A and B are shown apart, each in its own frame.
Chain A
Amino acid sequence: MTTSSTSARRARLAGLTASTAAMVVLASACGGSGGGSGSAPGNFSYLSVTENTTVKTALTTLSKGECRTAQDALPLKVETVPQASLDQKLQLLAGQDALPVQFAAGNAPALTRQLYTSGKVADLEAELKSLGVYDQLEPAAVSTVKALYGGKVEVLPYEYNIEGIFYNKKVFDDNGLTVPGTWTELVAAAGKLEAKGVQPFAASGQQGWPLTRLISGYLYRSLGPDALQDVADGRAKLTDPAYVKAARQVADLGRKGYFGKGVGSIDYDTAMNEFLGGKAGMFYMGSWALANIADEKQNKVGADNIGFMPFPAVEGGRGSVEQYPSNVGLGITLGAKSFDKKTGAWVSCIAKNYGSTALKDQGAISGFKVNTPVEDANEVTGQVRKTISASKQNVLWFEALFSTKATTVSQTNAAGLVGGSLSPEKFMATVQDALSEK
């Protein structure tokens, strides 16, 4: 009897132990791999987005050339995810303390600021200064990064872009148009093109941001460079009449059919193809499009036929055409815990060589100094580079200071605004509501 009771107890104990072990195994499987940013990295892991090939191509080139020594010590390892999945991936990795050494830092600056505040992102100003390469960053790019990231350098400027309107010179000449200097002239030029059967603007409503950039362009020209900082600081609301007016101006372009049919279904590549295929007269875009313009396979109208103009002035407005919307592309940052000597060697090499490599190989303008002179691929590239050097004051884009939710709401509703299914008042109110949430 005693024996049977003991064996029953043993069996119960064994069962309990097995169950506990199973739960521990399951629980540990839910945790991080343990090899994340908390330990010394085994390679220079870089999480990028599938859509961006410029940075990974340039880094691969550097790993075989100027950064060979850093590569031997810490091999480059590139992983990509679709841009739409990036935020989810980063949140999961950050939660498991498994962020890569270097990574594209989220679609809205708000996520990077969260990562920085929680100690997961390196203070790059301090790190670059201690490596003695902080002066390799272009001051204009640093100023844009600081404006975006609360006065901190939380991302490296692998791209440095200004935005404006690319136009087809031949289409303009054929239709007797000159470069519009004001919004009224721009609308008149668009009307003339439309009347002649030429689609005035190419734009992607599927992405949304190429449309909302027009709203911020109008706001910066009409209300001055602090227009959206005032919204972020609560001094103004997007529902204020002056802000709604900007949305109305852009909605009017859509109402008149200046973006062509079904703008909501047009994705980024299709819009680019429409412009470079000669089907549209104008294209609001950033200077990263220079790589597409320089590519003869994509550009059917020829690089010599493309001009660049600033977003036009608004009559009586407080802004100036010399204030260019600028950005540093998709910010790329470095994990705080994995920033060691070997990572430092990579960063140091990148800071000294990335600018020349990206410009020479891909015609891409970055926020790093170009230490080896590179000849411009074409006239419009030269024009944009000169504009960047001469630019005195830069402004941000519509969603730059918004939360992730407000950014998404703004961009997913933009097609409705120009398609007529959403009034300017309703559009601005919807975005303002998202912005007002915690």
Chain B
Amino acid sequence: MHRVLGDRKAVLILLGPALLVYSLIMLVPMVWSFGYSFTEGNTIEGFTGNGLDNFQRLFSDPAVRDALWFTAKYAVVVTVGQVVAGYLLALLYVFFLKRASALVRTLVFFPVVLPTVAVGLLFQKFFQVAPQTGPVNSLLNAVGLESVDWFGSAGHAFWVLIVMDIWRSMGFYAVLLFAGLVDIPEEVLESARLDGASGLRLVRHIVLPMSFPVLMSSVVFSVNGTLKVFDCIVALTGGGPGNGTTPLTLYMFQTSFTYGDYGYGSTIALLLTVVCLLVTLVVFRVSRRDPMEG
């Protein structure tokens, strides 16, 4: 093995093709996109260099601030919701349902495989106020409350998005965390029980620390997925009302492809990349600490 890896030619033959493909489909577009950040224009009028104008604009654009704030808020709330709901479900599968959990796991996982647009339309119908009253408003009416125009204000629309995304994805995190929980040796749990640990204490001192690595992986997955959220927002609210539910991804898309401002769109994309990178680094740094040390 050492002889093979010590041979430069062998390394080149083994890594070269993969490196070439990776460079062509990942690095070149990224560098290309970075290059666009220093230009203005579009495919019709052509591109001209504008130095650091796009970066200056990025820091003074209130729409970027709004989108960044929405993205952060969305990522935090959905990540907490997805991982907590997923973890609770995983605990339910492992400690209560045990062998009978297969059916429940399948049912809870089902929304993960549904197309996002279909889920978006489903939730639109659930929460609609007009022309028909949706089930949620019907329920409110039944208990004597007024119908709510859920998509008429950014605040309400935000919570509908949160509920939808958590409902849609918690099955995935439940399965992921379930895999981590079943890996905890039964002997360890048994010894803890003999030592008097049970219920929340068992979870707090044994289950949680021992499933910490998979929990952190879930957090990284979730944070990166939610920072780049696009399809479910387009399907449910289209970023509205106004730009009340517009994340950075959608603002980048609109800027580039609707307003035809590719240079500034690339700068927004760069900001998103940096945010994702920073958040991932922070999560990894936190996850390096050994939770067993207390």
Binding site for B on A (CB under 8 A): 15, 19, 22-23, 26, 87-88, 91-92, 94-96, 111, 114-115, 117-118, 120, 260-266, 270, 273-274, 403-405, 408-409, 412-413, 415-416, 419, 421-422, 430, 433, 438
Give the segment of B146-154, B167-175, B185-193 that binds chain A: B146-154
Contact (Cβ within 8 A) A404 B258: yes
Contact (Cβ within 8 A) B149 A419: yes
Bound-state CA distance A336–B153 (Å) is: 45
Contact (Cβ within 8 A) A416 B242: yes
Contact (Cβ within 8 A) A94 B44: yes
Contact (Cβ within 8 A) B44 A265: no
Q: Which 9 A-B pairs have the closest CB atoms?
A: A95-B43, A262-B130, A262-B129, A413-B242, A88-B257, A261-B130, A405-B259, A419-B152, A262-B149
14 A–B contacts, CB within 8 A, in A order: A15-B16, A87-B257, A91-B44, A95-B43, A95-B44, A114-B44, A118-B45, A264-B151, A405-B259, A415-B241, A416-B152, A419-B149, A421-B152, A422-B241
Bound-state CA distance A22–B24 (Å) is: 10
With A91-B44, A118-B44, A419-B152 as known contacts, state yes or no: A264 contacts B260, CB within 8 Å: no
With A94-B43, A415-B240 as known contacts, state yes or no: A261 contacts B257, CB within 8 Å: no
Binding site for A on B (CB under 8 A): 16, 20, 24, 40, 42-46, 62, 124, 128-131, 147, 149, 151-154, 238-244, 254, 257-261
Query: Which single member of B44, B131, B243, B261 contacts A412 (CB below 8 Å)?
Result: B243
Within 8 Å CB of A88, what residues of B? 257-258
Bound-state CA distance A264–B242 (Å) is: 10
Within 8 Å CB of B43, what residues of A? 91-92, 94-96
Bound-state CA distance A215–B241 (Å) is: 19
Contact (Cβ within 8 A) B259 A408: yes
Query: Nearest residue in B to A111 (C-beta to C-beta)?
Result: B260
Q: Please indicate which of the listed interface residues A115, A270, A274, A415 has the most CB atoms of chain B within 10 Å of its own CB.
A: A415
Query: Nearest residue in A to B259 (C-beta to C-beta)?
Result: A405
Contact (Cβ within 8 A) B130 A260: yes
Bound-state CA distance A90–B116 (Å) is: 26
Bound-state CA distance A211–B238 (Å) is: 18
Taking A88-B258, A114-B42, A265-B130 as known contacts, 8 extra A-B pairs with beta carbons closer than 8 A to each other, sorted by chain A number, are A115-B44, A262-B151, A264-B151, A408-B258, A412-B241, A412-B243, A416-B242, A419-B153
Contact (Cβ within 8 A) A26 B24: yes
With A95-B43, A118-B45 as known contacts, state yes or no: A412 contacts B239, CB within 8 Å: yes
Bound-state CA distance A94–B260 (Å) is: 12
Bound-state CA distance A111–B257 (Å) is: 12
Query: Which single member of B20, B149, B242, B259 contacts A422 (CB below 8 Å)?
Result: B242
Bound-state CA distance A152–B50 (Å) is: 31
Within 8 Å CB of A270, what residues of B? 131
Within 8 Å CB of B258, what residues of A? 87-88, 404-405, 408
Contact (Cβ within 8 A) B254 A265: no
Label chain A's interface by main secondary structure. helix
Query: Nearest residue in A to B128 (C-beta to C-beta)?
Result: A265
Within 8 Å CB of A274, what residues of B? 131
Label chain B's interface by main secondary structure. loop
Within 8 Å CB of A265, what residues of B? 124, 128-130, 149, 151-152
Bound-state CA distance A438–B24 (Å) is: 34
CB distance from B44 to the nearest CB of A (A): 5
Q: Please indicate which of the listed interface residues B124, B151, B241 has the most CB atoms of chain A within 10 Å of its own CB.
A: B241
With A94-B44, A265-B128 as known contacts, state yes or no: A114 contacts B154, CB within 8 Å: no
Bound-state CA distance A421–B124 (Å) is: 20
Query: Which single member of A23, A403, A404 contacts B24 (CB below 8 Å)?
Result: A23
Within 8 Å CB of A111, what residues of B? 260
Q: Please indicate which of the listed interface residues A19, A262, A412, A416 has the most CB atoms of chain B within 10 Å of its own CB.
A: A262
Contact (Cβ within 8 A) B254 A408: yes
Contact (Cβ within 8 A) B131 A404: no
Bound-state CA distance A274–B149 (Å) is: 18
Q: Please indicate which of the listed interface residues A88, A91, A118, A270 has the most CB atoms of chain B within 10 Å of its own CB.
A: A91
CB distance from B63 to the nearest CB of A (A): 9
Within 8 Å CB of A19, what residues of B? 20
Within 8 Å CB of B20, what residues of A? 19, 22
CB distance from B31 to the nearest CB of A (A): 14
Bound-state CA distance A117–B16 (Å) is: 46
Bound-state CA distance A95–B241 (Å) is: 32
Within 8 Å CB of B42, what residues of A? 91, 95, 114
Within 8 Å CB of B44, what residues of A? 91, 94-95, 114-115, 118, 120
Bound-state CA distance A111–B44 (Å) is: 9
Bound-state CA distance A96–B43 (Å) is: 8
Bound-state CA distance A411–B241 (Å) is: 10
Query: Nearest residue in B to A270 (C-beta to C-beta)?
Result: B131
Bound-state CA distance A430–B131 (Å) is: 29
Contact (Cβ within 8 A) A262 B128: yes
Bound-state CA distance A403–B62 (Å) is: 18
Within 8 Å CB of A419, what residues of B? 149, 152-153, 241
With A26-B24, A261-B130 as known contacts, state yes or no: A430 contacts B242, CB within 8 Å: yes
Contact (Cβ within 8 A) A264 B128: no
Query: Nearest residue in A to B238 (C-beta to C-beta)?
Result: A412
Contact (Cβ within 8 A) A415 B260: no
Bound-state CA distance A118–B257 (Å) is: 18
Bound-state CA distance A265–B154 (Å) is: 13
Bound-state CA distance A273–B242 (Å) is: 25
Bound-state CA distance A118–B42 (Å) is: 11
Bound-state CA distance A419–B150 (Å) is: 12
Bound-state CA distance A421–B131 (Å) is: 20
